[in-house]
Structure 1
């Protein structure tokens, strides 16, 4: 099981099995009231190979000067 914690205050939001989240989940922290948005993770090697890099700067923005 993996502990899912608030990005703002570190409070435990819930526990989940690996790959249990298949889509987008929004969880509101009981302690600090912030909304935490969680998405299913994918392996980093797949993620980098699927992204087009032409015309993008280091952060992924398409803004041109």
Structure 2
């Protein structure tokens, strides 16, 4: 009984993490099949570039 409760708690934790970051069409099949899933966080450096291209708005409107 305790083992089943522990497994259920793990599944609920995984589903909660998946639903925050992954579209349902990806996580629902994993949950339905009951296959093992490892969820982890990873920090990474990210570079974002903003650019103002002269005349782009007019070009894209055409």
**TM-score bin, normalised by smaller chain:** under 0.3
TM-score when normalising by structure 2: 0.21
Structure with the higher fraction of residues in helix conformation: 2
Give the structure-1-normalised TM-score.
0.20
Larger Rg: 2
Q: Which has the higher contact order (CA 8 A, sep 6+)?
A: 2
